[in-house]
């Protein structure tokens, strides 16, 4: 088993009833970057993006944005 960091963009936009494009506008994070984070295609995490997302959605606990999950090494 290994661990993987997951950014919960899809969950956040659903919970806040906004689109990815709206989150992009509110957070000033490029739509493409949010899409890559949402799809797990982004290798690196820019902490300023996480801060801007948290600020835009009034999130005070980073665990609402980021999860650490266990994955199979298959």
Query: Tens place of pLDDT for every residue, the chain, 74 residues?
Result: 899 889 999 999 999 999 999 999 999 999 999 999 999 888 888 999 999 999 999 999 999 999 999 988 65
pTM for this prediction: 0.85
Assigned fold of 2-71: 434 Repressor (Amino-terminal Domain) (1.10.260)
pLDDT at position 74, please? 59
pLDDT at position 29, please? 96
pLDDT at position 72, please? 85
Would you say 9 and 66 are in contact if contact means Cβ atoms under 8 Å apart?
no
Q: With helix as H, strand as E and coil as C, how does the chain read?
A: CEEEEEECHHHHHHHCCCCHHHHHHHHCCCHHHHHHHHHCCCCCCCHHHHHHHHHHCCCCCHHHCEEEEEECCC
CA gyration radius, the chain: 12
């Amino acid at each position: 088993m290994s661990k993987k960091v997951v950014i919960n963009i899809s969950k956040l936009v659903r919970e806040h009833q906004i689109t990815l494009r709206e989150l992009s506008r509110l957070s000033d994070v490029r739509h493409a970057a949010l899409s890559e984070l949402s799809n797990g295609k982004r290798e690196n995490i820019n902490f300023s993006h996480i801060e801007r997302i948290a600020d835009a959605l009034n999130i005070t606990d980073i665990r609402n944005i980021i999860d650490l999950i266990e994955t199979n090494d298959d």
